[in-house]
Each structure stands twice: as C-alpha cells, then as structure tokens.
C-alpha cells in the first residue's frame, strides 16, 4: 500500500517556465512533508519542507503548497533552470521519524 | 554542514556472501536510517536507529540486519547476499525525534550481487 504517491514518473519543462511536481498521500496522520532532489549517483538533498499547520512555504524559486483536505502537495519551481533537472521525491512523516517516500518524478528542464 | 559518509560508492559481491555497508555521520545526530532505492519504487526504509544499540525495522527488513555500537556509525549487514538485493543503498541521519527534522543523506552505495 503506497501511502505517498507521485503519479507522474517524468516531466519535461522549458527553461524559464514553471515546473509543478505533484504528490498525493493517504495517511491523515502525516504532519510534516519534505521535498528532496536527487542527481544520478548522488544522495538526495533536502529542498524544502512544510508543516501541516501551514498551506504554503516558499524558499527562493521553490514553493511547496499543501492541501490537507485533498491530501495533496505540490512543488513549484519558478523559473525552471537546466540545473534543476533531477529526480524529485516527496516524503511524509507522522511524527514517528519513519519518513515515507514517494516513487519520484524525473524532471527534465529543456534549454 | 552535516556530513554523512558511506564507505563505498560501488560494490560487487557474489550470491551468498556476507556484506557490510558502513555509514558515519559527523554531527552527533541521534537518528540514523538505511534506505534502498529501486527504479519505480522510490526510497524504501530498511532499518532505522534512534539511539546507540537501539534499532527498529522499517518496511523491508527481511534479509538485512543492522548494528549501531557508536552514535556516529550505523552499519547495514546482508547476511547472505542475493541477486534481489542489487540496489542503491542510502544512509541518512537526522538530529533527533523531538521535532520534525529533515534527513541528511550520504552519497549512496551501488551494490551489485552476481
């Protein structure tokens, strides 16, 4: 049973445009959500997080939106850059520190 | 910045061998984790540890064991390696369990079992 789902395995976006990566979850106990970026042959690096008491968190070009009623979060990257090309994972935690990760979305930003 | 170091980037082992994957973190983090990453399956938690000598099973612990004798070091052991354990193994750490804390990952070990 996949508690955290990223239904789009891949996404291509033109440089300078907005990239929107989506993540759905099923467990209403999740109260903290994170996004990670992963380049090939490297470990994931933390991008941005959001607590369930918020519906938006912004950090530079990256914004995460949380819709608790829909159990949905999204990561917006504006403007997208070629260096953003990577696999993006969303993760969720219910306070047990057992982070549950999605299957990832491969983003390709075209120059 | 936190550094999580995995001892090997690439490993090739034979079926039935006992395999040790080592991970060290340098920021006095309480929690340490082992994940494996497989295409189409994302990151799956194998084991984690919230204190020295303490461990808990993750979602896929079968065929694995762990050891945490010192706070900074967390080892993953494949008792008898099998081909379905060919994967990218990722170690991570986080500060503590009192507040929501992000994970810091190592660079990963690509293990091939032949």
User: Residue A4 has which token pair?
Assistant: 């955290």
List residues of chain A with CB under 8 Å from any CB of chain B: 6, 9, 31-32, 34, 36, 41-46, 49, 51, 89, 91, 93, 95, 97-104
pLDDT tens digit string along A13-72?
999 999 999 999 999 999 999 999 999 888 999 999 999 999 999 999 999 999 999 999
pLDDT tens digit string along B99-110?
667 899 999 999
Contact A88, A105 (CB under 8 A): yes
d(CA A99, CA B33): 10
pLDDT band at B1 (very low <50, low <70, confident <90, very high): low
d(CA A65, CA A52): 10
Q: What local confidence, expressed as pLDDT, does residue A95 receive? A: 78
Query: SS3 of A58, please?
Result: strand
Contact B103, A47 (CB under 8 A): no
The angle at the Cα of B90, spanning B41 to B35, to the nearest 5 degrees, equals: 50
Output the CA torsion B25→B44→B53→B13 (10° steps). Answer: -80
The owner of tokens 């309480």 is B30
pLDDT band at B39 (very low <50, low <70, confident <90, very high): confident
Which residue(s) pair with B10 in the sheet? B110
Q: What local confidence, expressed as pLDDT, does residue A54 receive? A: 95
Asked whether residue B82 carries a pLDDT value surpassing 80, the answer given is: yes
pLDDT tens digit string along B20-31?
999 999 989 999
- Chain B interface, best mutation among A2, A42, A43, A52, by max B CB count within 10 A: A43
């Amino acid at each position: 049973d996949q508690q955290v789902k990223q239904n789009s395995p891949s996404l291509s976006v033109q440089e300078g445009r907005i990239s929107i990566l989506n993540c759905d979850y099923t467990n209403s106990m999740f109260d903290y959500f994170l996004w990670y970026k992963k380049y090939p042959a490297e470990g994931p690096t933390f991008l941005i997080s959001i607590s369930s008491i918020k519906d938006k968190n912004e950090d530079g070009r990256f914004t995460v939106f949380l819709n608790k009623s829909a159990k949905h979060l999204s990561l917006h990257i504006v403007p997208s850059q070629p260096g953003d090309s990577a696999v993006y994972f969303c993760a969720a935690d219910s306070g047990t520190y057992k982070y549950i990760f999605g299957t990832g979305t491969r983003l390709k930003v075209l120059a | 910045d936190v550094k999580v170091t995995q001892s090997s980037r690439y490993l090739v082992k034979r079926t039935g061998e006992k395999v040790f994957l080592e991970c060290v973190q340098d920021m006095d983090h309480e929690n340490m984790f082992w994940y494996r990453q497989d295409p189409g399956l994302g990151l799956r938690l194998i084991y984690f540890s919230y204190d020295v000598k303490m461990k808990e099973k993750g979602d896929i612990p079968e065929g694995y064991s762990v050891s945490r004798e010192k706070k900074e070091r967390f080892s993953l052991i494949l008792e008898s390696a099998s081909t379905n354990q060919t994967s990218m193994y990722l170690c991570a750490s986080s500060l503590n369990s009192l507040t929501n804390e992000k994970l810091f990952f190592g660079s990963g070990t690509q293990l091939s079992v032949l």
